[in-house]
Amino acid sequence: MNLAISISQYVQQIHDGVLSSEEFIAKTLERINKVDKTLHAFISINENALEQAKQIDKKLKGKEKVGACLGMPISIKDNICTKGIKTTCASKMLEDFVAPYDATVISKLKSQDAIIIGKANLDEFAMGSTTEFSYFGPSRNPWNPDYVPGGSSGGSGVSVSALECIASLGSDTGGSVRSPASFCSVVGLKPTYGLISRYGLVSFANSIEQVGPLARTVEDIAFILNIIAGHDLHDNTTIESGKPDYTKDLDVGVSGKKIGIISEMIGDGVDKEVQSATKDAVSRFEKLGAECVSISLDSAKHSVAAYYTLASAEASSNLARFDNLRYGFDFSVEGYEYNQYISKARSNFGPEVTRRMLLGTFVLSTGYYGKYYQKAQKVRSLIKSQLAESFKKVDLLLAPTMPILPFKIGEKIDDPLKIYLLDINTIIANLSGIPAISVPFAIAKGLPIGIQLFANSLQEKQLLQAAHALQKTTNLPGVPI
């Protein structure tokens, strides 16, 4: 049996009766046992997965109604709450935390008979771009385990790429779904802000973050999006999207579409392998009948500073709730005064989380608020209006997802600013709320390169159609591990 199948192939094989959920889950667990010691995509595994698969097979045999996911294994980033399975956010502060409820995206997947195979590793509280800031240790890139898998949804990217699940949910605050998608050679979508409920996603930067799917094909992304998108009474930032069928008309192609290549994202600081892959992607779109033009987005050069100002500010406020009293690890309150206790408990936050809280508190403090926070909000507005202008001229925007190839674990860990700057091509989507997708496009020096497409808000259908057209032009090798 082949684990390297897409969702549509899985569905077909189950319907044809040549595959059972139990067989697939058993084989997946075997695969996890074999490769995860090296890759460390998972923080915890669902011990009941096999039993759940048997139940679904039983329903299938009895011709009972079974949800669209038919018992397929899906991994979940460990900052999305799952009832009965630990949700640690890769932090010591939550190492034993079991959420008393399911996030809306989890309830939706479960109601369609998906099996949560395990909880995927991440940078602590999703703060990072390499998955090296996990309290439980880094995940490794399946294309070369000495290299970072991207992040913060690194475990999600690794698990999909290394055939440890069929799809995954991550969260994207500054590129956290698209970065591991690019570095691990899978597809990753950051949807329009408000398209997917954040209820049960542990808050980091509420005005920016979104849950997003990772899978091996664009078709699979459309399938998952159909299930998890939509208004949620538990999250008032969700919007009415009219529930389009994202899997329909995926094949319409890009003929007659106008694609803008963001000039600021293909020049200085971009690896030459990435530059040449981008050129190649542009010429393939042209061959498919799209018109490609150069577009300047000069506000993009301020996006990293604006993003880290705003995200840190929101993080410093969100993380105030972790006082080790309602959540936390075993640490007795006896013998401590209130502030002393909390400060000692909170010293167990990792270095990146602490750094962000220091930064966030600084930029919000008296005397600096106007200089940093307010200015960052204005840059955010500028990015939004420049993007709105661009979408009057073109249907889609294109840029490489990551400016550089994956790099070695440990290479940049002591220079946080260098890591922040890796997000330069992804964060305009988060600051403006527009959707963006990373499509696996090339392998150079044995390492993956992803191409990113952006569309205007709620234009996911158009975005997926173009991404699907691009993916069909590729023929990439299978993962080497």
Partner 1 sequence: MVDRKEIEHLSNLIKIDISNPQKYITQVEKILNYFELLDKVEIKTDDLIRQELTLDKLREDKFVPFEDKLIENLKKTKENFVRAPKMV
Binding residues for partner 1, rule: CB under 8 A, are 98, 100-101, 207, 231, 233, 236-237, 239-240, 302, 304-306, 308-309, 316, 320, 323, 325-326, 328, 330, 333-334, 336-344, 346-347, 349, 351, 354-355, 357-359, 361-363, 365, 371-372, 375-382, 384-385, 416-417, 420, 433
DSSP symbol at 87: -
- C-beta closer to partner 1: residue 105 or 357: 357
HSE (side-chain half, CA atoms, 13 Å) at 323: 10
Q: For partner 1, give the closer residue by CB, 347 or 475.
A: 347
Cβ neighbours of 436 (radius 10 Å): 31
Name which of 146 and 389 has its Cβ closer to partner 1.
389
Q: Taking the complex as a whole, how short is the minimal distance between the CB of residue 207 and partner 1, in angstroms?
A: 6
Cα–Cα–Cα angle for 210, 216, 219, nearest 5°?
Answer: 80
Structure tokens given for 409: 């674990």
Smallest CA-to-CA distance from 165 within 20, 3, 2, 1 is with: 3
CA–CA separation, 124 and 108 (whole Å): 25
Distance in angstroms (rounded) separating the CA atoms of residues 189 and 195: 12
What's the min distance (Å) between Cβ of 277 and partner 1?
28
The first and second tokens of residue 214, run together, are: 């990772």
Which residues are known to be catalytic? 77, 152, 176
Q: What is the CA radius of gyration of the chain?
A: 21
Would you state the structure tokens that stand for residue 207, as one six-digit string? Answer: 């005005």
Classify residue 458 as exposed, middle or buried by CB count within 10 Å of its CB (0-12, 13-18, 19+): buried
CB 247 within 8 A of CB 226: yes
- CB 88, CB 95: distance < 8 Å: yes
Backbone angles phi, psi at 343, to 5 degrees: -65, -35
Q: For partner 1, which is the closer residue by CB, 1 or 325? A: 325
Q: How far apart are CA 478 and CA 407, in angstroms?
A: 20
* Smallest distance from partner 1 to CB 97, Å: 8
Smallest distance, partner 1 to C-beta of residue 303, A: 11
Report in angstroms how near the CB of residue 137 gets to partner 1 at its nearest.
Answer: 21
Shortest distance, position 240 Cβ to partner 1, whole Å:
8
- Which residue number, 75 or 390, has a Cβ lying nearer to partner 1? 390
Cα distances (angstroms) measured from residue 369 to each of 204, 205, 278, 315, 375: 20, 18, 39, 16, 8
Cβ-based nearer residue to partner 1, 223 or 308 = 308
Query: Minimum CB separation from partner 1 for residue 67, in Å?
Result: 22
Strands 258-262 vs 115-120: parallel, antiparallel or unpaired = unpaired
Q: Which is nearer to partner 1, 280 or 323 (CB)?
A: 323
